[in-house]
Amino acid sequence: MPNVRSIAPLIFLRALAASAILVVAAGALHAQALPPGVRLGMTAEELQAALPAAERVQRPQRLTGGLLGSWRAAPVGMAGLVFEPTFFFAASELRRVEFVALAQTTPDSGAAAFGQLVRWGRGVFGTELASRDPGSAYAAWTSGDTDVYVQQVSDPRRASVRLVYKARQLKDGSEL
């Protein structure tokens, strides 16, 4: 029975390591999801109720389609970087949530974080649509009425990683 005694600690250590990996993976998956209680389509008042610490932005960022990045929440850590979430509204509804991390100070310009977020996206949403060119990489998914994408810009002066949730906008072929 000496073999049984020497195998038991090894089995215990492997089970413990597997449990730790699952806990870390679950935490990583949660980190990329929208904050608890936040959903696309909600009003600014509903956002405030879900995220009491969210603050109005003094100089809102404007995007096409009437989107106004008018609310910001506390930074969150994901994939080894610190991301700042901005909430974009149009027609009084939350239509887009952007998590942006500057990556100029990382040796790989955010490539490792981008890779982790793409692996997370594959696990949650399935195979991505992807593109890569010198200086940037992009991976996108569609889930119901939401488009999700991850983008990495590797220019040393403006390196960044961006995770975006946005309301899906379907267009009629006659509008193209």
Q: How many domains does the chain have?
A: 1
Q: Is residue 152 part of a domain?
A: yes
Q: Is 13 within a domain? A: no
Average pLDDT, integer, range 45-71? 95
* Residue 136: CA count within 13 A, CB half-sphere: 10
Strands (E), the chain: 55-63, 67-72, 76-78, 81-90, 93-102, 129-133, 136-143, 146-153, 160-167
Strand partners, 18: none
Is residue 173 scored above 80 in pLDDT? no
Q: Can you give the pLDDT at residue 155?
A: 87
Percent of the chain with pLDDT over 70: 78
**Average pLDDT of the residues in 43-68:** 95
Q: Dmax over Cα atoms in the chain, in whole Å?
A: 77
Structure tokens at 109: 């310009």
The count of other CB atoms within 10 Å of the CB of residue 163 is: 24
Is residue 6 in some structural domain?
A: no
Average pLDDT of the chain is: 83
Rounded-to-integer distance, Cα 37 and Cα 49, Å: 9
**1-15, 69-83, 136-150: lowest mean pLDDT where?**
1-15
Q: For residue 76, is pLDDT > 70? A: yes
**pLDDT number for residue 9:** 42
Supply the range of the domain harboring residue 40. Answer: 33-175
Q: Which residue has the higher pLDDT, 7 or 54?
A: 54
Whether 11 maps to a domain, the answer reads no
Could you tell me if 87 and 69 are in contact, meaning their C-beta atoms sit under 8 angstroms apart? yes
Length of the chain in terms of residues written: 176
- Residue 110 located in a structural domain: yes
Look at residue 1 and tell me if it is in a domain. no
pTM: 0.78
- Among 34, 94, 90, smallest CA distance to 67 is for 90
Q: What is the pLDDT of residues 91-136, one digit of tens each?
A: 999 999 999 999 999 999 999 999 999 999 999 999 999 999 988 9
Residue 10 has pLDDT above 90, yes or no: no
Please state, in angstroms and rounded to a whole number, the distance separating the CA atoms of residues 37 and 17: 32
Q: Is residue 24 part of a domain?
A: no
φ and ψ at residue 16, rounded to 5 degrees: -65, -45
Of the pLDDT bands very low, low, confident and very high (cuts 50, 70, 90), residue 171 is low
**Within-domain flag for 22:** no
Confidence of residue 175 (pLDDT cuts 50, 70, 90): low
Residue 22 pLDDT: 33
First to last CA, the chain: 75
The pLDDT-based confidence of 84 (bands split at 50, 70, 90) is very high
For tokens 């449990």, the residue is 19
